[in-house]
A and B are shown apart, each in its own frame.
Chain A
Amino acid sequence: MSHAMLIDLTQCVGCGACRDACQQVHHFPQKENERLDAQNFTTLRTIETDDGEVYARQMCQHCQDPACASACLVGALEKTRDGAVNWDADKCIGCRYCMVACPFDIPKYEWGSNNPKVRKCTMCYKDRQLTADMKTDAEGYVLGRDGKRFTIDGQPVKAEDRDMVIEMTTNSDGMRATACSVACPTGATLFGDRDELIAEAQKRLRENPDSYVQKVYGLQEVGGTSVLYLSSVPFEKLGFYTKLDTEALPQRTWRVLEKIPDIVVTAGVALGAVYWITNRREEVRKFEEEVKTQRSQKKH
């Protein structure tokens, strides 16, 4: 099962509970913020429209075929089977190609740090794996199944924080979910199976055509994403990137990369052949000169 989120902006009342929960579960300072940064994985912008205020939420789209993961030379970013695009602190070398490549400009950097991390929403990937039965070490840190310290976004988890994280990422049905979806009081942010959420989104568009623009944002953008949006106003008015191709971006680089073996073989053989021919020509020339000089010597 691949997880996804459906964010229905028509149901959002702009309370900011999603943002607050996200900041709390990640130990970020609590603040309102217009832009994503290394300590803000989701923002809520208020946009005035003819029909009143609309609240535009922004977070990592968790692409089906993420440009960031394709760009990352050490595979620190990964599209997990869970559906989340996760970042591995132990691998990252800090080249920031993921930030350049991301079509939604999501990954952010700890510019002030001398051991900087790439930071972005991970759909509470590791938070959702944290359980009450995990052991702790002598210093009070939670241990993973591999016996090493369990980390969330590269940070070890203190035992006293465990209950808070588990509570914040468990929904009313007892299922593990993202902190923002658990915190949402109106159900504007849903967490669940991607196919089911797509069906739900399309059902809403069908049943209430007047309340929505007829589009599920994220269904086709850059090959599809795991975060889907519904809205009553056109997405470009909300500052969403609406000119994105439906083809996954990694295809564009892969089309070139996959030719490399052919190029290496063809060019290698061609260069070898050129060398052989030019070298042979030289040898023949030398040999002929030798023969000439021998003949002229014989004549004398």
Chain B
Amino acid sequence: MKLSIPRFTFWKAVAALFLLAGGIATIVRFGWGLGASTNLTDATPWGLWIGFDVVTGVGLAAGGFTLAGIVHIFNIKRFEPIVRPAILTAFMGYVLVIVGLLFDLGRPWSIWHALIYQNPHSVLFEVAMCVMTYTAVLALEFSPVVLERFRLHKLLKIVKVITIPLIILGILLSMLHQSSLGTLYLIVPQKMHPFWYSPMLPVFFFISAVSVGLGMTIVESYLSARAFQKTLETPLLRDLAKMMIGVLLVYWTMRGIDLIRRDALAFLFDGSFETMMWYLEISLMLIIPLVLFNIRGWGRSRAGMFFTAISVVLGFVTNRLNVTMTSLEAYYHENFGVTYFPGIGELAVTIAIVTLGFVIFALAVKHLPIFPHHEEEAVVHLDTMHEATQPASMHAKPVAELNRH
């Protein structure tokens, strides 16, 4: 099945439009303050910028540590071609998270205070430290790409020596702050809907981050293959998709047991807004991916895996927005008589940040050695492919395509 995505000139126009809208919203935000540019109020102090740009954004960038761990720690070398794009997305993701955070902070110029006025009892302090350090780690993990491009071989050697400690540090930092984004909400048990408040939130946040890290890697591999004619072997994506589905099964089993243990199952049948959102979440993040992935033939094709992964990504976004916004709506309504929905300024900035992500990724793939295209690398892949479960004839095409570059 072939997707009919219009060519890039159209998307460039769309991107320009989104960036322009974001630019206007930026002027309003920093010219007139949070009150003028958002729908945030005293009753609803956190909104889309924290819920999506920060909490969801960090999760969507989880592919970096997941793939780095699979390839360099678990030594499953056949995934090596995907590590670079995954680390690129992660690095870009974290930079954009920090950009988003600067919009949301009331006093963004004092963000460095976190370095000197440290409160070790604050979850947010831990998140801030980990995000800051991990962004630096990602910059180093990504640096070989830039160093290769500019032929700085001495620096390249130094970075290669510290690769493994860096990657272990990156995984540790990710474990800590991916879970801590869930821990943030442990302090408001009485405000959240029982679907989403659980003492297990930190664990859920970490496991779902791993699943969406794999999902995002599949999505971006597919998209960049379409846009830049740079291909990655289908069997590799298939293995990633299998891992993703496996992680999701573990995740939802735990979520189910957790709901039972907290006697929250009864809420599944009350027909409320929250219940609908919960069904949306499990549909996108479990049921649809399971169905799509198991459609005979098509489910294991590139397009099939792309849609499976897209569904997981959307389900993950739904989950994070549910935790950060949906679960609090009833509390806001009961105690303040208000509901929160992001304002046009908030939406414009968020869309612009996502657009910026696409633009930077496209530029990086175009100008930096992100995807494999050397002959010798293609030969290496041929070696490792014997480990894959598919018949050898299926690999002939991608290798041939790799050789062309």
Contacts and interface: CB of A to CB of B under 8 A. Distances in A.
Interface of A: 35-38, 67, 70-76, 91-97, 99-101, 103, 105, 108-109, 111-116, 241, 243-245, 249-250, 252-254, 256-257, 260, 263-264, 267-268, 271-272, 274-275, 278-279, 281-282
B186 interface: yes
Given A253-B186, A271-B73, A274-B73, A70 B107 contact: no
B171 A256 contact: no
Contact of A275 (B75, B175, B184): B75
Interface string B66-84: 0001001111000000000
A67 B119 CA distance: 13
A94 B107 contact: yes
B30 to A, nearest CB: 8
27 contacts: A73-B118, A91-B117, A92-B106, A92-B113, A94-B106, A94-B110, A95-B105, A97-B122, A99-B45, A99-B46, A101-B188, A105-B42, A108-B42, A111-B35, A241-B190, A243-B190, A249-B188, A250-B121, A252-B186, A256-B123, A257-B123, A257-B183, A260-B176, A263-B175, A264-B172, A275-B164, A278-B75
Contacts of A253: 121, 123, 183-184, 186-187
Contact of A70 (B40, B45, B187): B187
Contacts of B32: 114
Interface of B: 30-36, 40-43, 45-46, 69, 72-75, 104-108, 110-111, 113-114, 117-126, 128, 164, 168, 171-172, 175-176, 179-180, 183-184, 186-190, 199, 202, 335-336
Given A111-B35, A113-B33, A96 B171 contact: no
Given A74-B113, A108-B42, A263-B175, A275 B73 contact: yes
B107 A73 contact: no
A114 B33 CA distance: 5
B119 A281 contact: no
A236 to B, nearest CB: 12
Nearest to B124: A73
B74 A116 contact: no
A73 B125 contact: yes
A272 B105 CA distance: 37
Nearest to B76: A278
A78 B118 CA distance: 12
B97 to A, nearest CB: 14
A109 B175 CA distance: 33
Contacts of A71: 122-124, 187
Nearest to B201: A256
B67 to A, nearest CB: 15
A278 B35 CA distance: 54
Of B46, B124, B125, B171, chain A has the most CB atoms within 10 Å of the CB of B124
B226 to A, nearest CB: 33
Given A105-B43, A275-B164, 13 more contacts: A70-B187, A72-B122, A73-B114, A75-B118, A92-B106, A92-B110, A93-B106, A94-B105, A97-B122, A116-B34, A253-B121, A257-B121, A260-B126
